[in-house]
């Protein structure tokens, strides 16, 4: 059985991961361009951990400017098996107050200015996104949240918007009408690319505000968000530390097949594939392409 390696992508407010043993920052080259930053690689009680700040240290990158393909490729390339996204978000539900961690189950993708697939002309593949997160990984995160007494809610839909502007009042009400629970700018196309790379993926959405819909809270205020971000980052570090200590050292097969998502996804015949694109897919799809 494959050894587990836990990957963590840290969103706004989470730019490092204290407590890693033998930690070192490594630059990982990707054929898809430059990842957001070097990757901090270390371990917790013998479990290998890889941490990548999504916006780069110092928060240099906007949500649209992030190279999501390079980030996911780099994580896959160094051996990550299970990937946890820790992301700041706005709440679209009264009961999801700032400080609550939401273990998301579904996504609606409203982004439009980003590269969303590793595949394309010359090597076409279609993966299922019906169930975009790995329930086995969410189970482990939920156990860690309970053990650390962190306020959380399991389940819910994350609306991914392009940004960088926050929602208009009309948009906020629209998304609430759709039944969405939280809103953010970064988990798409990240979740789609993680599925194409056969990584077990899960999102911890950390609520910082009520978006713009709440009559008692008004428009989104950066000063207030930054205060909550700091508190959320502390709890996120606790959560990841507990998750790592208790995480299975042997990678558990995904109940929904996230780690075998390409088994029946490849459409292009082997003799019709573009060699240049296939070469770039060595980490992401090598398991399947090497069989063809």
Residues labelled as active-site residues:
209, 211
Query: In the 3-class helix/strand/coil scheme, how is the chain assigned residue by residue?
Result: CCECCEEEEECCCCCCCCCCEEEEEECCCECCECCCCCEEEEEECCEEEEEEECCCCCCCCCCCCCCHHHHHHHHHHCCCCEEEEEEEEEECCCCCCCCCEEECCEEEECCCCCCCCCCECCECECCCCCCCCCHHHHHHHHHHHHHCCCCEEECCEEEECCCCCCCCHHHHHHHHHCCCCEEECCCCCHHHHHHHCCCEEEEEEEEEECCCCCCCCCCCCHHHHHHHHHHHHHHHHHHHHHHHHHCCCECCCCCCCHHHCCCCCECCCHHHCCHHHHHHCHHHHHHHHCCC
> What's the distance, CA 281 to chain centroid?
20
Annotated binding site for substrate: 185, 209-211
The whole-angstrom separation of Cα 223 and Cα 269 is: 54
- Residue extents of the structural domains in the chain: 6-289
pLDDT at residue 216, rounded to an integer: 64
Residues of the chain with pLDDT under 50: none
pLDDT at residue 93, rounded to an integer: 96
Q: Which CATH number fits domain 6-289: 3.40.30.10, 3.40.190.10, 3.40.50.1580, 1.10.287.3510?
A: 3.40.50.1580
The whole-angstrom separation of Cα 43 and Cα 40 is: 10
The whole-angstrom separation of Cα 254 and Cα 133 is: 10
The whole-angstrom separation of Cα 280 and Cα 202 is: 25
pLDDT at residue 244, rounded to an integer: 97
pLDDT at residue 217, rounded to an integer: 59
The whole-angstrom separation of Cα 157 and Cα 109 is: 11
Annotated binding site: 12, 54-55, 87-88, 185-186, 209-211
For residue 281, give Cα distances in angstroms to 8, 41, 175, 196.
Answer: 22, 23, 35, 10
pLDDT at residue 221, rounded to an integer: 64
């Amino acid at each position: 059985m494959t050894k587990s390696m836990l990957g963590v992508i840290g969103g706004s407010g989470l730019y490092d991961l204290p407590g890693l043993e033998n930690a070192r920052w490594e630059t990982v080259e990707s054929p898809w361009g430059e990842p957001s930053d070097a990757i901090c690689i270390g371990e917790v009680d013998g479990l290998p951990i890889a941490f990548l700040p999504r916006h780069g240290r110092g928060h240099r990158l906007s949500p649209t400017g992030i190279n999501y393909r390079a980030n996911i490729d780099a994580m896959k390339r160094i051996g990550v098996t299970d990937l946890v996204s820790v992301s700041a978000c706005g709440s679209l539900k009264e009961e999801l107050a700032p400080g609550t961690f939401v273990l998301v189950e579904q996504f609606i993708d409203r982004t439009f200015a980003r590269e969303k697939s590793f595949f394309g002309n010359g090597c076409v593949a279609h993966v299922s996104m019906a169930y975009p997160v790995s329930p086995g990984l969410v189970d482990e995160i939920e156990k860690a949240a309970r053990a650390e007494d962190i306020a959380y809610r399991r389940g819910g839909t994350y609306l991914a918007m392009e940004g960088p502007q926050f929602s208009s009042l009309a948009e906020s009400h629209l998304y609430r009408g759709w039944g969405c629970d939280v809103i953010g700018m970064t988990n798409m196309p990240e979740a789609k690319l993680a599925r194409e790379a056969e990584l077990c993926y899960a999102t911890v959405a950390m609520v910082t505000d009520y978006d713009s819909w709440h009559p008692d809270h008004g428009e989104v205020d950066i000063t207030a968000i930054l205060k909550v971000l700091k508190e959320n980052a502390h709890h996120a570090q606790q959560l990841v530390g507990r998750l790592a200590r208790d995480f299975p050292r042997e990678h558990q097969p995904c109940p929904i097949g996230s780690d075998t998502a390409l088994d029946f996804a490849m459409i292009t015949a082997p003799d019709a594939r573009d060699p240049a694109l296939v070469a770039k897919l060595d980490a992401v799809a090598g398991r399947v392409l090497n069989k063809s």
